């Protein structure tokens, strides 16, 4: 990803992974505590490795459960967690004798970490993770050879062959699975981006429709008020003018009152017209620039007899 944000749900899955492994090792530890005779059947003492693994998994789970640490570390938070998880798996495989039925036996927990890497980053990160874990495991195997107990002994197969074969198979499987997952996640991100853009357009369209509906309602109210109130006031002005004109001789007091009524009615008519003009939406606001210009041209052509 280009940004430092973590994919939705990734940290929750990562915590579930650490919690599940911790629960499994706790159950194993309880079994050794309640059945001490099991340790006597194994050629090595498993308890030190067990407690070391429990400590590492508990540390990882606590690390992944601290939101303030994520905010403080920023983009480095997730890579550090992945390095801790992968390193603990490699050290666990190195210091704990593994039981291999065939040389291609692989650790499924490694694939969980691979999925997290491919989920969050691109294929370059998958390649870096694959080569980095392989290089670390090769280096540690050269320094401390891994003890592998072959349950189904095959003639000619040695511990070194099992380790190398497992490493080669894991590398190729990591690259193939990582490539597929990164392609799927990339397609999902593109779909999310397209969905967000479509949602934004939908919101803008809804706002435009709402504004257009409001403008049309204002125009409708303006026309109705103009047809009723403004016409009524106009008719009243004409009637008062007619009364003044036909009433002869008109008393001075009556003329003064009628002229006052006429002036008040005219002011009311002017105020009503101004209010109606303010209520009515402008063509540019209602229809937009293109439609407003088109309507203006059609109105001008109709008034001047042009086609």
pLDDT value at residue 118: 92
Measured distance between the N- and C-terminal CA atoms of the chain, rounded to whole angstroms: 59
Other C-beta atoms closer than 10 Å to the C-beta of 136 total: 16
pLDDT value at residue 194: 92
Question: Which two structure tokens, joined as six digits, stand for 299?
Answer: 């109105």
- Counted residue by residue, the chain has a size of 307
Reading the chain (307 residues) residue by residue, the pLDDT tens digits are 444 588 888 999 999 999 998 888 888 777 666 665 555 555 556 567 777 778 888 999 999 999 899 889 988 999 999 999 988 888 777 666 554 444 445 678 888 999 999 999 989 999 999 999 888 877 877 776 555 544 445 555 566 666 677 778 888 888 999 999 999 999 988 998 999 999 999 988 888 778 777 777 777 777 777 777 777 878 888 888 888 777 777 788 877 888 888 788 888 878 877 777 776 656 555 555 566 567 667 766 766 667 6
pLDDT value at residue 195: 93
- Cα–Cα distances (Å) from 296 to 74, 79, 284, 288, 304, in that order, read 57, 63, 10, 12, 12
- pTM of the complete model: 0.60
Domain spans in the chain, listed from the N-terminal domain onward? 10-201
- Cα–Cα distances (Å) from 249 to 92, 252, 263, in that order, read 120, 9, 21
For residue 192, give the 3-state DSSP assignment. Answer: helix
pLDDT value at residue 3: 46
User: CA 221, CA 213: separation in Å to the nearest integer?
Assistant: 12
pLDDT value at residue 63: 92
């Amino acid at each position: 990803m280009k940004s430092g944000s973590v994919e939705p749900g990734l940290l929750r899955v990562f915590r579930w992974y650490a919690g599940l492994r911790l629960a499994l090792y706790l159950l194993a530890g309880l079994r050794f505590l309640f059945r001490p005779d099991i340790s006597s059947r194994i050629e090595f003492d498993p308890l030190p490795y067990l407690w070391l693994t429990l400590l590492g998994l508990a540390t990882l789970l606590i690390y992944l459960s601290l939101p303030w640490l994520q905010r403080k570390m920023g983009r480095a938070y997730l890579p550090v967690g992945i390095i801790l998880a992968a390193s603990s798996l490699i050290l666990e495989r190195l210091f704990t004798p593994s039981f291999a039925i065939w040389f291609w036996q692989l650790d499924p927990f490694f694939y969980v970490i691979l999925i997290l890497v491919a989920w969050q980053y691109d294929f370059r990160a998958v390649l870096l993770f694959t080569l980095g874990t392989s290089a670390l495991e090769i280096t540690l195997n050269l320094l401390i050879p891994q003890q592998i107990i072959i349950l189904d002994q095959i003639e000619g197969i040695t511990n070194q062959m099992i380790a190398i074969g497992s490493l080669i198979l894991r590398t190729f499987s990591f690259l193939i699975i990582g490539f597929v997952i990164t392609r799927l996640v990339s397609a999902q991100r593109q779909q999310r981006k397209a969905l967000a853009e479509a949602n934004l357009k939908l919101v803008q369209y809804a706002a435009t429709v709402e504004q257009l509906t409001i403008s049309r309602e204002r125009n409708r109210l303006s026309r109705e008020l103009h047809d009723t109130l403004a016409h009524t006031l106009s008719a009243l002005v004409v009637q008062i003018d007619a009364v003044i004109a036909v009433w002869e001789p008109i008393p001075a007091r009556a003329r003064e009152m009628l002229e006052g009524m006429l002036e008040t009615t005219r002011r009311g008519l002017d105020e009503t017209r101004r209010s109606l003009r303010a209520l009515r939406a402008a063509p540019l606001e209602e229809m937009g620039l293109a439609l407003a210009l088109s309507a203006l041209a059609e109105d001008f052509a109709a008034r001047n007899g042009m086609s």
